[in-house]
Copies of this chain bind each other. A is one copy, B any other.
Amino acid sequence: MSTTELETIKSNFTQGLSQISQFWGLPKSLGAIFAVLYLSPNALSLNEIVGKTGFTKGAISTSVRTLARMGLVHRQSKLGDRKDYYIAESDFYKVVRSILKGRENSEFNRALASVQETLVDLQTNPNQEGDAEDWDFAKNRVAEMQSFFDNLDNLVRVITALETMNQNTVQKVIALLKK
């Protein structure tokens, strides 16, 4: 009965993380799986996760891999046991850095590059007569955007370079901003 109670609370928590997950445009399953792992004192096998979440083996298999890519869970192998086991990363600052690092590979960078190409295209073009103002306007706008992205990219680069990031780090930033 007390166990049931705990399970109920866990289930509510899982629902909450599912919603957060889909708020960020991710599948609910990711939130649910992470929640189950996060509240489990011991590593869980794929089939155990199936049992606790109700998703199929295939779904868990792929979901758990994307969670691992994000740095939110880690795969473990026990000796003499063919099963894989999964645990949740509980240091969220680590997760933030891991996700920010992931940006380099991603589709996102290809899109960013296309913005940069636009800027080059605009700059290398000889000024036209008829629509010179249009060209200049576009040039300035895209240059501003590029500068914003560069600035942001620097910030991310510095963050990912931090050997440690924790509450204290954030609080120092807050103190700086408050002035």
A positions within 8 Å CB-CB of B: 2-3, 5-6, 9-10, 12-13, 15-17, 19-20, 23-26, 38-39, 41, 90, 92-93, 106-108, 110-112, 114-115, 117-118, 121-122, 125, 128, 130-131, 133-135, 137-138, 141-142, 144-145, 147-148, 151-152, 154-155, 158-159, 162, 167, 169-174, 176-178
Known: A39-B137, A141-B90, A145-B92. A12 touches B114 (CB 8 A): yes
Q: Are B147 and A174 in contact (CB under 8 A)?
A: no
Name A's interface SS: helix
Kindly provide the distance from the CB of A38 to the nearest chain B CB, expressed in whole angstroms. 6
Q: Are A117 and B12 in contact (CB under 8 A)?
A: yes
* Seed contacts A9-B138, A155-B174, A159-B177; 7 additional CB < 8 Å A-B pairs: A20-B108, A20-B111, A24-B25, A39-B137, A93-B148, A148-B167, A173-B177
A-B contact pairs, 5 of them (CB 8 A): A9-B138, A19-B107, A23-B111, A41-B137, A148-B167
Taken together, the copies of this chain in the complex come to: 2
The closest CB in chain B to the CB of A134 belongs to B6
What residues on B are CB-neighbors of A137 within 8 Å? 39, 41
Among B23, B131, B151, contact of A6 (Cβ-Cβ < 8 Å): B131
The closest CB in chain B to the CB of A31 belongs to B111
* A19 CA / B141 CA spacing, docked (Å): 19
Among B20, B138, B148, contact of A92 (Cβ-Cβ < 8 Å): B148
Known: A41-B134, A138-B10. A176 touches B174 (CB 8 A): no
Q: Are B111 and A16 in contact (CB under 8 A)?
A: yes
Of A38, A131, A135, A141, chain B has the most CB atoms within 10 Å of the CB of A141
Kindly provide the distance from the CB of A6 to the nearest chain B CB, expressed in whole angstroms. 6
